[in-house]
Amino acid sequence: MTIAFAIVAILTIAASVAAMSLRNLIHCALAMAVAFGGIALLYLQLEAQFVGFAQILVYIGAVAILIVFAVLLTRGGEAPEKSVFSASWIWGALVTAAVFATLAWTIKNSFASQREPPANVEATVKQIGDSLMTKFVLPLEVVGLLLTAALIGAVIIAMRDESPKTKMEDGRSKMEKPSAPGGHP
Amino acid sequence: MVESLDQIFVSLKHALLGFVPGNWQALASAILSLLPIFVIFPTLFAITTLLERKGLGRIQNRYGPNRVGPFGLLQPAADGLKALTKEDVVPHAADKIVHFLAPVVLVIPVFLSFAVLPVGRNLVAVDMDAGLLFFFAVGAATELSVFMAGWSSRNKYALLGAMRAIAQMVSYEIPLILSSVGVVMIVGTLSPVKIVEAQGTYHGLLPDWFVFTPWGLAGFIIFMIAAAAESNRSPFDLPEGESEIIAGYFIEYSGFKFALFFLAEYLGMFAISGLGITLFLGGWHAPLQSLEVIPSWFWFFAKLVAIILVFIWIRGTVPRLRMDQLMNLAWKFMIPMVLINVVGAAVWHFMQPGLARWLVSIALVVGPYLWLGKSLFQSKHLAKRTYRFAE
């Protein structure tokens, strides 16, 4: 374990803990952005440039902004008066520890962890692009279709209903024809 | 002689590294590569502020700064001293920590983005395989700090400005990234160094820059419009909007923190212009083969200053957009245009060189432009303005 890894790991874990325990929701969201950044740094330490930068681009550039907007649009950033910990946190901690232990034990004994990591893998962006366009082109297209459907769905949900829309259209056409008061006696 | 002048900074670095003991070499090399970024670009920022005030002054038929030093040349120094000595006011209700962190978090990614820009032959701080992706990734990180500034000030104008800024940056990031996709498809790499190298040949009198192809010209124009919007430059300076929300997200900042916002805005403009030069204007290559004797780094900065002058000119000429016009331009015009442009780049790549390729490529740019423009104007129901009392 190198010093750089230790620093990044401590930063990520501290930011994750802060994201769960801070009172102000916006502070939590910002702490989570720091945690996303820490994970991106871990990817970069593993020489996975593409994944690391995509993590920053998608999670800090888009997901964190989305979360922050959602917080602002729902209940405001007011900090709650009472503690954010529930009364039965000790049971929660126990369950969490049990789940973590089970997962860790399973991974430790699994087939994947016995395998030797291949020496000197070098995944350049070009290789990733090539395999995305040849071997994995179908999943890529499916994801594209799904995202397009989601985008159109979001636009339809956000679109105004039919009757107020025509009113708005009228208002706008009046605004853009500044002749309105004189033109309609 | 020519060769040594071109590589003067590289050889200077190697000469300096010779004085450093062996196990400190890596650290010293990194510092020597990064130090010029922290010196040159803020200096350019100081020069640009003066240039901008002078240029805007001439456009508006006044003198601009002319009191400090000869011809007002020492104005940036006076401005810097003023920013340093001003009182740093933090609003009572502000979120102190986030309010303090926002300008710092904004400046860091802006400086980081210069690391992958090749400013001359062999003059790049980090030659990264995914350099272009790195540039866009750190650029995306600035949006969060804009939000931090707007939210932590506890001021409705600041929050409105931040909301506007984020909506604008998110919308214009898509045409910005997509317009560079064409170049990436043609060159087949995300490395800025290799993109510049691919534009190094000369074709008769003209260099093989991507701006001299139909899709490249369209991509360059879309890129620069999106770049102006990304760096909140006029006519896309709605987040500042002095007349409606006074100064937007940095309204509650004073003294040196305000100067940091100012610095980050201008450095962001330099960085994104530098990327535009790298992608479309041949990077550090000379415009004519006979001019290659002039060092490569000179050409990069000459192009950068030229683009900055164009930005100043646009700021003095074009009025500010309205919010709905801003969004319509991005989503209804620029994104369809840039998607067709990606197809245009692919067609250019697969057709044989010759007249047919030029005609098809020009048709793929002009056709959508006319069609989109016409259909968008038709839905506007624009009519000739008639006046009731003025005529």
Per residue in B119-133, pLDDT (tens digit) is 888 778 788 888 888
| ipTM surpassing 0.85 | no
C-alpha distances out from residue B23 to A5, B26, B29, B41, B72, Å: 21, 7, 11, 30, 47
Give the pair of three-digit tokens for residue A80.
């709650």
pTM above 0.90, yes or no: no
Banded model confidence at residue A173, pLDDT cuts 50, 70, 90: very low
Locate the chain B residue with the closest alpha carbon to A73: B163
Instruction: Give the span between the Cα atoms of A48 and A70, in whole angstroms.
Output: 31
Average pLDDT score over residue span B383-389: 78
Locate the chain A residue with the closest alpha carbon to B383: A177
Per residue in A108-153, pLDDT (tens digit) is 888 777 777 666 666 677 788 888 888 899 999 999 999 999 989 9
Are the beta carbons of A77 and B151 separated by less than 8 Å?
yes
Best mutation target, A36, A44, A125, to test chain B (most B CBs within 10 A): A125
Among partner residues A60, A69, A126, which is closest to B140 by beta-carbon distance? A60
List chain A residues with CB under 8 Å of B130: 49-50, 53, 125
Any A CB within 8 A of B360 CB: no
- Looking at residue A167, its pLDDT comes to 46
Are the beta carbons of A60 and B386 separated by less than 8 Å?
no
Are the beta carbons of A60 and B380 separated by less than 8 Å?
no
Backbone angles phi, psi at B291, to 5 degrees: -90, 10
Are the beta carbons of B144 and A183 separated by less than 8 Å?
no
Residue B159 contacts residue B151 (beta carbons within 8 Å): yes
Instruction: Give the span between the Cα atoms of B134 and B190, in whole angstroms.
Output: 9
Any A CB within 8 A of B379 CB: no
Residues in Cβ contact with B99 at an 8 Å cutoff, skipping those fewer than 6 apart: B90, B91, B149, B152, B153, B252
Instruction: Give the span between the Cα atoms of A18 and A4, in whole angstroms.
Output: 21
Secondary structure (3-state) at B232: coil
Secondary structure (3-state) at B92: coil
- Looking at residue A79, its pLDDT comes to 61
Secondary structure (3-state) at B120: strand
Burial of B19 (0-12, 13-18, 19+ CB in 10 A): exposed
**In sequence order, what are the beta bridge partners of B202?**
B207
Per residue in B104-120, pLDDT (tens digit) is 888 888 888 888 888 88
Per residue in B309-338, pLDDT (tens digit) is 999 999 888 888 888 888 888 888 899 899
Backbone angles phi, psi at B243, to 5 degrees: -80, -20
Instruction: Give the span between the Cα atoms of A99 and B242, in whole angstroms.
Output: 55
Give the pair of three-digit tokens for residue A36.
């996303």
Any A CB within 8 A of B172 CB: no
Are the beta carbons of B385 and A61 separated by less than 8 Å?
no
Residues in Cβ contact with B315 at an 8 Å cutoff, skipping those fewer than 6 apart: B52, B56, B233, B234, B235
Best mutation target, B142, B190, B230, B322, to test chain A (most A CBs within 10 A): B190
Identify the structural domains of chain A with CATH numbers, from first to last: 1-77 (1.20.120.1200), 123-176 (no CATH)
Secondary structure (3-state) at B203: strand
Average pLDDT score over residue span B216-236: 88
Instruction: Give the span between the Cα atoms of A75 and A72, in whole angstroms.
Output: 6
Is the pLDDT at B134 greater than 70? The verdict is: yes
Per residue in B171-193, pLDDT (tens digit) is 888 899 999 998 988 888 888 88
Average pLDDT score over residue span A4-28: 87
Torsion of CA B223, B224, B230, B234, to 10 degrees: -150
The residue extents of the domains of chain B are 86-378
Give the pair of three-digit tokens for residue B350.
């697969």
Residues in Cβ contact with A8 at an 8 Å cutoff, skipping those fewer than 6 apart: A38, A41, A42, A45
Banded model confidence at residue A178, pLDDT cuts 50, 70, 90: very low
Best mutation target, B108, B144, B148, to test chain A (most A CBs within 10 A): B144
E-state strands within chain B: 202-203, 206-207
Candidates B309, B306, B270; CA nearest to B51 is B309
Best mutation target, A39, A51, A53, to test chain B (most B CBs within 10 A): A53
Instruction: Give the span between the Cα atoms of A29 and A49, in whole angstroms.
Output: 25
Are the beta carbons of A125 and B133 separated by less than 8 Å?
yes
Are the beta carbons of A126 and B188 separated by less than 8 Å?
yes
Is the pLDDT at B153 greater than 60? The verdict is: yes
How many other CB atoms are found less than 10 A from the CB of residue B359?
Answer: 11
Residues in Cβ contact with B87 at an 8 Å cutoff, skipping those fewer than 6 apart: B254, B255
